[in-house]
């Protein structure tokens, strides 16, 4: 097939009946500043890790709200916690805490489930 | 003996506390690493033990550090600690002299005036009795101050004081009662038997005149014995564990044992050595943002009670301001980091992508410049340094101009040492392959980790303040003193963190008019922007920054200088005072000199033209 520089995204469904909202609720409870994100993408633009690997900080919010925990877990591992995102954020969101909370709670749910 | 059963509570309490201490200290020491144990066995019969004895005397008994903080507070602690120590020692000597024996049971010395009802007749006996009376009055003066301090701690130079637990309360009340009860018991005995000395006898006579001393004698000695017992029993669950544990700490510290990156016997020993005096509360800037329950003293208390939450553990800037103030000399930052490592050890990232990613080959160079993530958010610093390097004709490789991993320090600050090591290994390899001799860093956060954890052989790591000073000394940079009133803000990671106080000051002194301020060097304020705190909210950070700025503004400076991009970024917001990195100031001075020279040259030319036309 000829490469036109586009990719075709595979069809997929998110079943909201299967939605696991634990993680999202825990994050919002412990770090309420996360709620005010306006998805401007400043964090992604400045990210040190995104310079080295395909990593999008802004997508974390999306993955969290969709409850896609498996993908979230593998994405979040790429963060180097340098703190640039937090400094450029126009809403002053404490992103480093969001990331640490996700790491902690994903681990917690794993041990709970097993 | 049948008439004196009141010695039993005291004896049981004493046996309990002694065996408890032997067991718990034994457990801690056996929990040390093999290297630490060999440190003890190699140092125990050396000069280090003598130094430790001296330090125990100066700090645990005389409380020199508290004296420096506030003389009245120091006197209070000294009278209680040193006074009580002397009371025990002199009391035993007095008993030994009287019974003409070298081994006298503890109770015979502690309740001496009950057992020895005749007045001292020998010269030594009279002198010792008088000394004992004076010592007791000396301690009582401290107890009186302690009563007063409970209600008015501000008079003692302390703005805040710690909250007490039940164990603390029992021990505190016992401690408050021990000496007044002893004073009364000795007074009453003196009233009956006339065995008192210079102070207890007049007091005894007075008591005998107004009170039924005969019926009061036994109850008072009982009460004295019971107050001692309740103090001994409450000690393991109270802050007064520090009295004995601190001595062990001083010895181990002098043998070279430090808090490691794991919880072990030594870190437990440090936690139990905290006297919860609350002196660390006053220096903590978190209180400026109304955060009052996450300070070192509370974290150590929660570690001891095994109820420390992440919310409290991570809500600290790790600025280290509390550390120099701690009268026990605890490694407060390291203790907190040890807990952070424990709390986050289950989810360290492996950063596999660093291994697979294509990293550009390092060019061969003498000098490497590493800006760091934070400096990339303050491009003026990078620009100034580039210009300065051009002026000084430095050949360098800008290592993180494009794509580079973080230095690893921000991960370490939240306890992720294992993850940070992956980044360190990656960066170290790149640095080594360049064959450089010097690594210049313009961010104190990176500087600390490069200096302490990278361990690259043959490379000297320098903060840009050190490097610029070196260039200036080599006459590779022109000097121009600008008429600017400058205040220097010590970044926490550079000052208290790495001990670099003088180099930035020397540099600023050459290029501007540096003014010294109250809170500088070890006492320097934190900007509030620290990456070590992941719980603090932006508005709280701003409150801390505003309070620090308020102090700086009172000196009416033209410029606030700093040596950290994060401090610069934090201070730049919300105020009109220009904030510059030292690199910017140096570059400003050099450029100004160049412009002046140009102007001078052009005016000279004009003058020559005029001459020509004349």
| Per-residue pLDDT tens digits for B154-185 | 777 676 667 778 888 999 999 999 999 999 99
> Rounded to whole angstroms, how far apart are CA atoms B512 and B487?
10
Q: How many domains does chain A contain in total? A: 1
CB-CB under 8 Å, A48 with B414: no
> Rounded to whole angstroms, how far apart are CA atoms B196 and B215?
18
> Rounded to whole angstroms, how far apart are CA atoms B95 and B93?
5
Collect all residues of chain B within an 8 Å Cβ-Cβ radius of residue A52: 353-354, 357, 403, 405
**Residues in CB range of B387: below 8 A, 6 or more apart:** B587, B590, B591
Work out the minimum CA distance from A35 to partner chain B, whole angstroms. Answer: 13
What's the pLDDT at B213? 86
How does residue B3 score in pLDDT terms, banded at 50, 70 and 90?
low
Q: Is residue A29 part of a domain?
A: no
B470 to B392, B412, B442, B487, B496: CA distances (angstroms): 11, 30, 15, 22, 22
| Per-residue pLDDT tens digits for B191-207 | 999 988 899 999 999 99
> Rounded to whole angstroms, how far apart are CA atoms A61 and A57?
8
Q: What secondary structure does DSSP assign to chain A, as a single string?
A: ----S--PPPP----GGG---HHHHHHHHH-GGGGG-----HHHHH-SGGGTS---HHHHHHHHHHT-HHHHHHHHTT-----HHHHH-TT---HHHHHHHHHHHHHHHHHHH-
B407 closest CA partner among B383, B374, B434: B374
CB B431 within 8 A of CB B397: no
CB B200 within 8 A of CB B116: no
A104 near B CB under 8 A: yes
CB B509 within 8 A of CB B535: no
Question: Where on the phi/psi map is residue B463: left (φ > 0), alpha (ψ -120 to 50), or beta?
Answer: beta
For range B587-598, the mean pLDDT: 91
Q: Radius of gyration of chain B from Cα atoms? A: 32
Q: Is residue A45 part of a domain?
A: yes
Which runs of consecutive H residues, i.e. helices, occur in B100-165? 106-110, 112-115, 123-151
Collect all residues of chain A within an 8 Å Cβ-Cβ radius of residue B357: 52-53
- Among A48, A77, A94, the residue with its CB nearest the CB of B373 is A48
CB B384 within 8 A of CB B583: yes
Q: Is residue A91 part of a domain?
A: yes
- Among B347, B405, B566, the residue with its CB nearest the CB of A107 is B347
Strand partners, B439: B368, B461
How big is the A-B interface in CB pairs under 8 Å? 82
Q: Is residue A14 part of a domain?
A: no
Both tokens assigned to A47? 């990210």
CB-CB under 8 Å, A33 with B411: no
CB-CB under 8 Å, B344 with A104: yes
Indicate the SS3 state at residue B369. Answer: strand
> Rounded to whole angstroms, how far apart are CA atoms B86 and B211?
31
Q: Which residue has the higher pLDDT, B156 or B504?
A: B504
What's the pLDDT at B244? 93
> Rounded to whole angstroms, how far apart are CA atoms B285 and B270?
23
> Rounded to whole angstroms, how far apart are CA atoms B204 and B221?
14
CB B157 within 8 A of CB B116: no
Collect all residues of chain A within an 8 Å Cβ-Cβ radius of residue B414: 81, 96, 100
- Average pLDDT over chain B reads 92
Mutation to test the A interface, candidates B426, B446, B538, B567, most A Cβ within 10 Å = B538
Give the residue from chain B lying closest to A83, CA to CA: B531
> Rounded to whole angstroms, how far apart are CA atoms B134 and B428?
65
Both tokens assigned to A80? 């180097």
**Residues in CB range of B576: below 8 A, 6 or more apart:** none
> Rounded to whole angstroms, how far apart are CA atoms B123 and B129?
10
Work out the minimum CA distance from A67 to partner chain B, whole angstroms. Answer: 20
What's the pLDDT at B2? 46
List the domain range (segments joined by +) for residue A84: 39-109
State the SS3 of A47-58: CCHHHCCCCCHH
Q: What does chain B come to in residues?
A: 614
**Residues in CB range of B108: below 8 A, 6 or more apart:** B95, B99, B115
How does residue B27 score in pLDDT terms, banded at 50, 70 and 90?
very high
Q: Which residue has the higher pLDDT, B471 or B165?
A: B471
DSSP B522: G
Q: Is residue A93 part of a domain?
A: yes
| Per-residue pLDDT tens digits for B360-394 | 678 888 999 999 999 999 999 999 999 999 999 99
Work out the minimum CA distance from B294 to partner chain A, whole angstroms. Answer: 16
> Rounded to whole angstroms, how far apart are CA atoms B323 and B334?
10
Collect all residues of chain B within an 8 Å Cβ-Cβ radius of residue A46: 377
Q: What angle do CA A105, A108, A114 make, to 5 degrees?
A: 140
> Rounded to whole angstroms, how far apart are CA atoms B70 and B77?
11
For range B109-128, the mean pLDDT: 89
Q: Radius of gyration of chain A from Cα atoms? A: 15
Q: What is the edge-to-edge ordering of all strands in the sheet holding B579-581?
A: B513-515, B485-489, B559-562, B579-581
- Among A81, A104, A107, the residue with its CB nearest the CB of B410 is A81
| Per-residue pLDDT tens digits for B263-312 | 999 999 999 999 988 889 989 999 999 999 999 999 999 999 999 999 99
Work out the minimum CA distance from A96 to partner chain B, whole angstroms. Answer: 6
**Residues in CB range of A86: below 8 A, 6 or more apart:** A43, A93, A94, A95, A96
What's the pLDDT at B605? 63
Collect all residues of chain A within an 8 Å Cβ-Cβ radius of residue B350: 77
B581 closest CA partner among B365, B437, B405, B387: B387
B560 to B380, B532, B541: CA distances (angstroms): 15, 23, 18
A44 near B CB under 8 A: no
Asked whether residue B614 carries a pLDDT value surpassing 60, the answer given is no
How does residue B121 score in pLDDT terms, banded at 50, 70 and 90?
confident
CA atoms within 13 A on the CB side of B613: 5
| Per-residue pLDDT tens digits for B206-255 | 999 998 888 999 999 999 999 999 999 999 999 999 999 999 999 999 99
> Rounded to whole angstroms, how far apart are CA atoms B101 and B108?
12
What's the pLDDT at B414? 95
CB B560 within 8 A of CB B489: yes
What's the pLDDT at B427? 93
A97 near B CB under 8 A: yes
- C-alpha B168: how far from its chain's center? 23
Collect all residues of chain B within an 8 Å Cβ-Cβ radius of residue A96: 410, 414, 531, 534
CB-CB under 8 Å, A96 with B534: yes
Q: Please state, as a whole number, how many other Cβ atoms lie within 10 Å of the Cβ of residue B360.
A: 9
**B interface toward A at CB cutoff 8 Å?**
310-311, 314, 344, 346-347, 349-351, 353-354, 357, 373-374, 376-377, 402-406, 410-411, 414, 416, 423, 531, 534-539, 566, 569
Both tokens assigned to B600? 């001078």
What's the pLDDT at B69? 85
CB B69 within 8 A of CB B325: yes
Q: Identify the burial level of B101 via C-beta atoms within 10 angstroms of its C-beta, where 0-12 means exposed, 13-18 middle and 19 or more buried.
A: exposed
pTM of the model: 0.90
Q: Of the given ranges (B376-385, B535-544, B601-610), which has the lowest mean pLDDT?
A: B601-610
How does residue B613 score in pLDDT terms, banded at 50, 70 and 90?
very low
The winner for highest mean pLDDT among A7-11, B453-457, B494-498 is B494-498
CB-CB under 8 Å, B349 with A79: yes
How does residue B610 score in pLDDT terms, banded at 50, 70 and 90?
very low
Residue B171's H or E segment, with its range, is helix B166-193
| Per-residue pLDDT tens digits for B38-77 | 999 999 999 999 999 999 999 999 999 998 888 999 999 9
């Amino acid at each position: 097939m000829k490469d036109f520089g586009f990719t075709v995204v595979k069809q997929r469904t998110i079943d909201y009946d299967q939605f696991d909202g634990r993680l999202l609720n825990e994050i919002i409870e412990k770090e309420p500043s996360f709620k005010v994100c306006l998805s401007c993408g400043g964090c992604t633009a400045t990210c040190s890790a995104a310079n080295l690997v395909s990593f999008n900080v802004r997508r974390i919010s999306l993955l969290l709200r969709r409850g896609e925990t498996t993908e979230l877990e593998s994405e979040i591992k790429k963060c180097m916690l340098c703190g640039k995102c937090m400094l450029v954020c126009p809403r002053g969101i404490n992103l480093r805490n969001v990331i640490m909370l996700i790491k902690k709670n994903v681990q917690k749910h794993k041990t709970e489930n097993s | 003996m049948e008439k004196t059963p009141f010695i039993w509570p005291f004896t049981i309490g004493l046996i309990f506390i002694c065996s408890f201490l032997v067991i718990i200290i034994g457990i801690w020491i056996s929990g040390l690493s093999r290297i630490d144990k060999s440190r003890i066995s190699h140092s125990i019969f050396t000069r280090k033990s003598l130094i430790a004895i001296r330090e125990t005397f100066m700090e645990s008994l005389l409380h020199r550090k508290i004296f420096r903080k506030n003389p009245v507070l120091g006197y209070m602690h000294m009278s209680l600690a040193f006074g009580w120590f002397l009371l025990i020692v002199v009391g035993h000597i007095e008993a030994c002299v009287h019974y003409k024996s070298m081994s006298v049971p503890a109770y015979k010395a502690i309740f001496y005036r009950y057992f020895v009802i005749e007045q001292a007749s020998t010269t030594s006996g009279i002198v010792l009795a008088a000394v004992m009376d004076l010592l007791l009055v000396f301690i009582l003066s401290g107890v009186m101050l302690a009563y007063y301090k409970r209600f008015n701690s501000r008079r003692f130079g302390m703005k805040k004081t710690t909250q007490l637990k039940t164990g603390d309360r029992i021990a505190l009340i016992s401690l408050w009662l021990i000496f007044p009860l002893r004073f009364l018991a000795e007074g009453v005995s003196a009233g009956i038997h006339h065995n008192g000395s210079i102070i207890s006898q007049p007091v005894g006579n007075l008591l005998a005149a107004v009170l039924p001393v005969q019926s009061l004698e036994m109850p008072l000695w009982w009460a004295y014995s019971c107050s001692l017992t309740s103090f001994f029993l409450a000690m393991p669950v109270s802050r007064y564990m520090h009295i004995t544990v601190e001595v062990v700490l001083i010895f181990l510290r002098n043998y070279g044992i430090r808090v490691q990156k794991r919880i072990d016997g030594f870190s437990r020993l440090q936690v139990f050595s905290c006297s919860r005096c609350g002196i660390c509360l006053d220096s903590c800037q978190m209180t400026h943002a109304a955060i009052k329950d996450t300070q070192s003293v509370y974290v150590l208390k929660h570690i001891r009670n095994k109820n420390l939450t992440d919310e409290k553990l991570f809500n600290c800037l790790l600025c280290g301001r509390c550390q120099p103030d701690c009268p026990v000399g605890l490694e407060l930052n390291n203790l907190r980091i040890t807990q952070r490592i424990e709390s986050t050890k289950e989810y360290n990232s492996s950063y596999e992508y660093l291994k697979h990613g294509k990293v550009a080959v390092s060019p061969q160079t003498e000098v490497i410049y590493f800006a760091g993530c934070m400096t990339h958010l303050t491009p003026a610093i990078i620009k100034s340094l580039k210009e300065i390097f051009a002026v000084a004709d430095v050949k360098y490789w800008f290592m993180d101009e494009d794509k580079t991993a973080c230095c690893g320090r921000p991960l370490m600050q939240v306890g992720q040492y294992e993850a940070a090591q992956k980044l360190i290994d990656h960066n170290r390899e790149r640095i080594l392959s360049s064959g450089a001799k010097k690594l210049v860093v313009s961010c104190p956060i990176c500087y600390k980790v490069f200096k302490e954890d990278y361990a690259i052989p043959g490379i000297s790591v320098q903060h840009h303040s050190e490097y610029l000073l070196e260039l200036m000394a080599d006459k590779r940079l022109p000097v121009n003193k600008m008429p600017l009133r400058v205040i220097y803000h010590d970044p926490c990671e550079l000052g208290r963190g790495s001990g670099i106080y003088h180099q930035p000051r020397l540099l600023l002194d050459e290029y501007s008019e540096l003014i010294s301020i109250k809170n500088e060097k070890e006492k320097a304020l934190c900007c509030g922007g620290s990456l070590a705190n992941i719980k603090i909210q932006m508005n709280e950070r701003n409150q801390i920054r505003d309070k620090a700025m308020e102090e700086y503004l009172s000196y009416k400076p033209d410029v606030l200088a700093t040596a950290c991009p994060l401090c610069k970024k934090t201070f730049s917001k919300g105020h009109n005072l220009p904030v510059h990195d030292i690199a910017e100031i140096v570059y400003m001075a050099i450029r100004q000199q160049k412009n002046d020279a140009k102007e001078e040259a052009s005016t000279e030319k004009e003058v020559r033209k005029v001459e020509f036309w004349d």
